[in-house]
């Protein structure tokens, strides 16, 4: 990527010691503070990505090994209760004679629109 392809990213240091260390080390190495900061960020991101990848792989392995612990009796009891009892959270369509039972269309009808028989024209 050329210099003109990259965007700028303002970096504000919360710790003055870090900014001074960046300046001092960049001078000692003979590279710009910008280059040194970019290289340090790239290294840190690589390390962090590797750690996160290892954590995710471990979690995935645990999930793959999971067999569940429900007995056949517990599974049958759960299935029975699913069909035997009405689900209080199950939704259903509400049929109404009016096209706007709560007045929503009427509330949002602007001056250029008019409500006729429950619908907006």
Mean pLDDT by 10 residues, the chain (121 residues): 70 94 97 96 97 97 90 92 84 67 73 53 56
Domain boundaries, the chain: 16-84
The reported pLDDT for the residue numbered 8 is 87
| Nearest CA-CA partner of 100 in 89, 90, 113 | 113
How many angstroms separate the CA atoms of 3 and 85, rounded? 66
The reported pLDDT for the residue numbered 97 is 57
The reported pLDDT for the residue numbered 95 is 63
How many angstroms separate the CA atoms of 16 and 11, rounded? 12
The reported pLDDT for the residue numbered 87 is 81
Number of residues that make up the chain: 121
Q: Mind giving me the DSSP string for 75-114?
A: HHHHHHHHHHS--TT-------SSS-TT-HHHHH--TT--
The reported pLDDT for the residue numbered 76 is 94
């Amino acid at each position: 990527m050329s210099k003109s392809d990259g965007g700028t990213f303002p970096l504000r240091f919360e710790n003055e010691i870090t900014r001074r260390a960046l300046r001092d080390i960049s001078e000692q190495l003979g590279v710009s503070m910008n280059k040194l900061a970019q290289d340090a960020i790239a290294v840190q991101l690589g390390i962090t990505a590797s750690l996160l990848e290892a954590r995710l792989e471990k979690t995935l392995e645990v999930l793959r090994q999971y067999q569940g612990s429900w007995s056949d009796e517990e599974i049958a009891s759960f299935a029975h209760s699913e069909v035997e009892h009405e689900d209080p959270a199950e939704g259903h369509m509400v049929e109404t004679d009016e096209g706007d039972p709560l007045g929503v269309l009427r509330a949002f009808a602007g001056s250029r629109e008019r409500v006729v028989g429950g619908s907006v024209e």
